[in-house]
Amino acid sequence: MQIGRQGFYSVERLESFDQYCKTTSRTRAILVCIVAPLPALITAVLLECLPLSDPSEGWVVNWVLWIRMGLMQVILCFEGSSLMASFIPGLDYSLFKRFTVALGTCIGSISFCILMASTIGFPVPFMAQLTSIPVAICMPALVRLVLGPAIFMKGSRFKLYSARFYSFFFAYTTLIGIYPLYKVFYEFVPEQYRGAVVIVLPVWKFAAKMFLLRSIREVEDYIPTLVAITVDFLSTLFISVCMSTSGSIYFTILLITADIAESVLDYRELRLNATVLISLLDDRNKSLKRTQRDIQSESTDLTAIVLEITRNPSDFNLATLDRVRLYACLPHPLTRTQIDKLHDLDLLRVYSREGQPSSRTLNSSHQRRHPTVTQHRSLHQVQRVSVAPVENNLGSLNAEISPPKLQLEHQADQRSKIKQAERSAKLVKQGLQLLFHCEYLALVEYVECVVPLIFVAFKSILEQLPNIVYYPGGAGNWTLNVVANIFIFASLEIGSLILFDKLLHRRFAISPLHQLAFVLETEVTMVQVTLFTEIVILLQYELQHLGADFSLRFEWLHH
């Protein structure tokens, strides 16, 4: 599935991105990309520094495990509450309230796990998965208790936002829960047939993207981020795990080849989008030359060109822009001037309002604060209604006395305006889609660079800690050959990202690096919550104490 074809930048997001590019140096952008995954990685390593006892000694002796799980629950539940607050703007969800919900959920889930351990046995089979049961009960109840029932009522202004959040959250937690099963499938396949896994992986990615996309259609601006740091993150982590356990250079080459082939298909789709856009830009430049406009107008700075049109649609004879959204699904960081400009553009009724919450539309109080804009709109409407028929009447009355040349010039001018409007509309749509597509591909390349490095760093540190003996294979299986294979994969992805950045910057003056930093910094809560969940949970799910025995034998319970 080509995610880049599934949406467009909104004008608000474009304005926010433009402001970010103007105020952020390339050095800062690089540092943001480097630092983004470190908090989750450091947290995962610190949790492993808590020394565990042998699972056979029982749940009482393993009291450190309950501390470890409690800390993890508090962190993840607090992050989940923060994600909810970011999805629902204006929600009174203070840090204290989030911590209260996280602590209460932690107490409930750990108490449930201890009860199960004392009743069934220790380790509790699939304890990580079973923990989701008390979390699913305690957390919503505590959220309702802390925030009150108002936000869940039908007429609440938060209802649409909360529905979007829970739709995404359900899909996301489902994918996190399914991921270990794919690893199990890989391990059960005989070694000589594991090449088939490479064929099945794209099918899984396609199905996962379809499933996730259905839940996030209403948050179009965040589709690239949510898909890349969920589906692409999980698939890249799986590839890294396979490389570390296969021991076959041929299988590693096969995985890398499959990944390159998939990237080629993605870039082919981007190239088709870019080819159409280049043609439109060439037509625009030729038109500007014919009108003898300043030569500086021939710039290929795509962001500047699209902003010129979206900020002044009437100058380009645009009456409507279907599918082009003025406001983003959630508020973006903007300057006061940019906010006022968006409100003024909203008065023109040029942009699509499909799926736009009422809280994001222009309210009456703002119209009272800007009477001149409203008056201008009203006057424009009157002029458009009254002048058009007069022009037609004059044309019919004076047809015999008007010089033919004048009529031809008038018709040519009308055709030129229509053509300019059509070209400008296509340019805006293609430009906003290209930016959307570039953001997704940049995020995918970034994920495929970072995930192998995170995996190598975590496993290398874990190899030096006492808890390594409680993971499959134990100590001594992490060799330089394994590290080298994963580093080769990561190096190829880093090279691909650098090349992608240079090509886009040269042709359209777009910086995928700044797009990456823009996402990682302005959507920090969304990014960090998903990274924490995936890194902290998935890197440790094979720990013996968590009872992940997919053979379903659970031999320790029979001793």
Three-state DSSP string of 220-245 = HHHHHHHHHHHHHHHHHHHHHHHHHH
Section 41-59 average pLDDT: 94
Mean pLDDT over each residue of the chain, to the nearest integer: 84
Q: What is the pLDDT of residue 418?
A: 79
Q: Which residues contact 9 (CB under 8 A, 6 or more apart)?
A: 17, 221, 432, 433, 435, 436, 439
Contact 556, 56 (CB under 8 A): yes
In DSSP terms, 352 is beta-bridged to 325
Burial of 549 (0-12, 13-18, 19+ CB in 10 A): middle
Alpha helix stretches (DSSP H) within 120-232: 127-130, 132-147, 159-188, 195-216, 223-227
H or E element, residue 441: helix 404-462
Contact 344, 380 (CB under 8 A): no
Taking the C-alpha atoms of residue 345 and residue 59, their distance in angstroms, rounded to an integer, is 63
Judged against a pLDDT cut of 60, whether residue 371 lies above it is answered with no
Q: What is the pLDDT of residue 466?
A: 93
Is the bond into 123 cis (omega within 30 degrees of 0)?
yes
Section 351-376 average pLDDT: 50
Q: How far is CA 308 from the centre of its chain?
A: 27
SS3 325: strand
> Which of 554, 539, 484 minimizes the C-alpha distance to 183?
539
- Lowest-confidence region among 143-147, 288-292, 542-546: 288-292
Question: Residue 152: how many CB atoms within 10 A of its CB?
Answer: 14
The β-bridge relationship of strands 321-325 and 351-352 is: parallel
Virtual torsion, Cα 380, 382, 383, 389, nearest 10 deg: 140
Taking the C-alpha atoms of residue 549 and residue 188, their distance in angstroms, rounded to an integer, is 13
Judged against a pLDDT cut of 90, whether residue 325 lies above it is answered with yes
Band (pLDDT 50/70/90 cuts) for residue 154 is: confident
Section 300-304 average pLDDT: 85
Q: What is the pLDDT of residue 480?
A: 86
Q: Which residues contact 223 (CB under 8 A, 6 or more apart)?
A: 3, 6, 7, 213, 216, 217, 436, 440
- Give the highest mean pLDDT range of 105-114, 200-209, 505-514, 539-548: 105-114
Q: What is the pLDDT of residue 384?
A: 37
Judged against a pLDDT cut of 90, whether residue 87 lies above it is answered with yes
Q: Which residues contact 464 (CB under 8 A, 6 or more apart)?
A: none
Q: Residues of the chain with pLDDT > 90: what percent?
A: 48
In DSSP terms, 209 is beta-bridged to none
| CA-angle at 238, arms to 236 and 242, nearest 5° | 120
Q: What is the pLDDT of residues 397-436, one digit of tens each?
A: 444 445 665 665 555 566 666 777 888 888 899 999 999 9
Section 528-532 average pLDDT: 94
Section 80-105 average pLDDT: 94
- Largest distance between two CA atoms of the chain: 108
Band (pLDDT 50/70/90 cuts) for residue 542 is: confident
Q: What is the pLDDT of residue 102?
A: 96
Judged against a pLDDT cut of 60, whether residue 396 lies above it is answered with no
Burial of 318 (0-12, 13-18, 19+ CB in 10 A): buried
Taking the C-alpha atoms of residue 65 and residue 58, their distance in angstroms, rounded to an integer, is 11
DSSP label at 329? S
Taking the C-alpha atoms of residue 455 and residue 483, their distance in angstroms, rounded to an integer, is 10
Q: What is the pLDDT of residue 29?
A: 96
Judged against a pLDDT cut of 70, whether residue 121 lies above it is answered with yes
| CA-angle at 122, arms to 127 and 102, nearest 5° | 40
Q: What is the pLDDT of residue 27?
A: 96
Section 161-188 average pLDDT: 86
Virtual torsion, Cα 255, 260, 262, 264, nearest 10 deg: -170
Band (pLDDT 50/70/90 cuts) for residue 475 is: confident
Judged against a pLDDT cut of 60, whether residue 187 lies above it is answered with yes
φ/ψ (deg, to 5) at 388 = -55, -50
Q: Residues of the chain with pLDDT > 70: what percent?
A: 85
Judged against a pLDDT cut of 60, whether residue 378 lies above it is answered with no
Taking the C-alpha atoms of residue 260 and residue 127, their distance in angstroms, rounded to an integer, is 37
308-312 contacts, C-beta under 8 A, 24 or more apart? 309/424, 309/427, 309/428, 310/11, 310/14, 310/345, 310/428, 311/341, 311/345
Virtual torsion, Cα 65, 69, 75, 79, nearest 10 deg: 160
Q: Which residues contact 329 (CB under 8 A, 6 or more apart)?
A: 10, 164, 218, 219, 220, 221, 222, 355, 357
Judged against a pLDDT cut of 60, whether residue 382 lies above it is answered with no
Band (pLDDT 50/70/90 cuts) for residue 242 is: confident
Burial of 556 (0-12, 13-18, 19+ CB in 10 A): middle
- Which has more pLDDT, 485 or 74? 74
- Lowest-confidence region among 193-202, 467-476, 486-495, 529-538: 193-202
